[in-house]
Structure 1
Amino acid sequence: MDQQLQLDQQQLVSAWQERLPSFMNEGDSYTVQADEGDQKSLLIHFNASGRQNYTLDFRCTYVDSREVAVNLIDVERAGQHTDERTDAVQQLAQRYTRQIHECAQELKGLTHS
């Protein structure tokens, strides 16, 4: 059985932009864009609410039609690269990773034909 992703990348971006807010904490914002280098990947940029001014960038890659691999690519605090091993960053990264997985699950109907 073919588990390949059968979806246009732009459709995927639109679906993510529509669904992701329902998993987000109030005050957080994000952008979703196509990964130009990989048809199966999306780049998701989160702006964490709060005084720390953290932004986290993730690559969400469809392993197959049901499963995504989520990788933290970059973390900045107030526009400066920051250590991603701190507790605050780890907690944010875990939360956003969970939200990405939850959103991917929600969109399974789109990606799994």
Structure 2
Amino acid sequence: MNVFTTTGVGFSSGMPKPLGSTTANPLKLSTLDERHMQIGSAPKDPEHMTTTFAQALNEALGNVEGLSKKSEDLTTKAIYDPDSVEAHEVIIASQKARFALNLTKTIADGAVRTFRELTNPR
């Protein structure tokens, strides 16, 4: 392992590395799994655009519902067939679903609060 005394971190080609270092990835880690974050990867469908706010809202709520369904499925699978699923996958899926639901609730509360402020006669 190489240890460097540097003054900062550089981001050449999108990968952080200590300034003045000569090794970019001494461990040669493989990131070929589809679940790994790919730096500089393109969106799944860059041409996909929603035309109306209602369509975008329905799509976002569908994504939240999909995350919740995936979490429930993995939890059920972990209970009935524990060898077929990893524990960390269940935890990650449940936290993603929880975060998405909390974010949706926060946005909905903010929209209701904003609507009340706009319609409140003063």
User: What TM-score do the two structures reach when normalised by structure 2?
Assistant: 0.29
- The structure with the largest helix share of the pair is 2
Q: Which has the higher contact order (CA 8 A, sep 6+)?
A: 1
Higher strand share: 1
Larger Rg computed on CA atoms: 2
